[in-house]
């Protein structure tokens, strides 16, 4: 009864009415990755975790994984449970153990927000990216009110309470929750992190569902805000950022390892 009147089921009905054509940001990211895949491509997924996409997108994930890729993650446990990588490498982004210009495509899904020193990681990704190659990033948008709220809550709530809130809302395990720093999560900051020789395009994507989907009154407010964020003047306030970085042919951006 609660779910039908005030809970998740009511939220689903409200979303169908207010945002009937809302596409999941994870799906949009996955589709974008697919446009870059081709036979023989050298593909690195940085911060690969256990899978390429969130649960519920297994068909799209299998389509992506039909192309072999190298998975990099600092967690050996994640690599042991990685579903699709042709090769797994334990490493952080500060020192990628690959030669210069080794990959045609580098992807990273909901990882950049966890970086303490993003400028060094971006330098490493640019170093191992071949001319004509592409970097695709999907990460939270710090201009979005929900992301700002989560950042504030992570600072004011006891860690155990904040962790429980994230687990309940996003159906994640304790092991899947990592510290967030949001040091590369605005358009302005991202542009400063990318070398001027590279091309960058940034698109804001809407949330797939309300954070408070188990309480329809708050979910209604979120749905209306999401609807507003799809208007052209407010599109930059979407929940996540889809970032496309291209290294032009003939460009060889190579940084000294460990340079600031």
* Per-residue pLDDT reduced to its tens digit, 101-145: 999 999 999 999 999 999 999 999 999 999 999 999 999 999 998
What is the model's pLDDT at position 168? 53
For the chain, percent of residues with pLDDT exceeding 70: 88
What is the model's pLDDT at position 258? 41
What is the model's pLDDT at position 162? 45
What is the model's pLDDT at position 179? 85
Q: Where are the domains of the chain?
A: 2-141+184-246
What is the model's pLDDT at position 233? 80
**CATH architecture classification, 2-141+184-246:** 3-Layer(aba) Sandwich (3.40)
What is the model's pLDDT at position 253? 61
What is the model's pLDDT at position 188? 96
What is the model's pLDDT at position 161? 52
199/118 Cα distance (integer angstroms): 18
201/43 Cα distance (integer angstroms): 20
Q: Please state the pTM of the whole predicted model.
A: 0.87
Q: Which of 164, 165, 53, 167 is nearest to 107 (CA)?
A: 53
CB 125 within 8 A of CB 91: no
What is the model's pLDDT at position 150? 76
157/54 Cα distance (integer angstroms): 26
Query: At 18, is the secondary structure helix, strand, or coil?
Result: helix
What is the model's pLDDT at position 159? 63
Residues (pLDDT < 70) of the chain are 157-177, 253-260
**For 93-102, how does the pLDDT look when each residue is reduced to its tens digit (9 = 90+)?**
999 999 999 9
What is the model's pLDDT at position 160? 62
Burial letters for 106-120: b for 16+ Cβ neighbours within 10 Å, e otherwise?
bbbbbbbbbbeebbb
């Amino acid at each position: 009864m609660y779910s039908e009147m005030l809970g998740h089921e009511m939220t689903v009905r409200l979303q169908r009415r207010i945002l009937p054509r809302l596409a999941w940001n994870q799906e949009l990211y996955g589709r974008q990755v697919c446009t870059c895949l081709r036979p023989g491509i050298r593909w690195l997924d940085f911060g690969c975790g256990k899978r390429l996409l969130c649960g519920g997108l297994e068909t799209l994930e299998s389509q992506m994984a039909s192309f072999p890729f190298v998975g990099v993650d600092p967690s050996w446990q994640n690599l042991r449970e990685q579903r699709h990588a042709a090769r797994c490498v334990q490493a952080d982004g500060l020192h990628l153990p690959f030669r210069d210009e080794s990959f045609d495509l580098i992807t990273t899904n909901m990882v950049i927000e966890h970086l303490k020193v993003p400028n060094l990681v971006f330098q490493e990704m640019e170093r191992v990216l071949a001319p004509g190659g592409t970097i695709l990033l999907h990460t939270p948008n710090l201009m979005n009110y929900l992301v700002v709220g989560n950042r504030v809550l992570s600072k004011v709530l006891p860690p155990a309470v904040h962790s429980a809130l994230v687990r309940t809302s996003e159906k994640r395990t304790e092991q899947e929750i990592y510290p967030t720093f949001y040091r590369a999560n605005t358009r302005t900051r991202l542009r400063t992190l990318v070398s001027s020789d590279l091309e960058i395009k940034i698109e804001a994507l809407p949330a797939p569902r309300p954070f408070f989907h188990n309480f329809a009154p708050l979910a209604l407010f979120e749905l209306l805000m999401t609807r507003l964020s799809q208007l052209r003047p407010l599109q930059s306030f979407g929940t996540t950022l889809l970032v496309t970085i291209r290294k032009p042919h003939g460009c060889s951006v190579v940084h000294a390892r460990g340079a600031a």
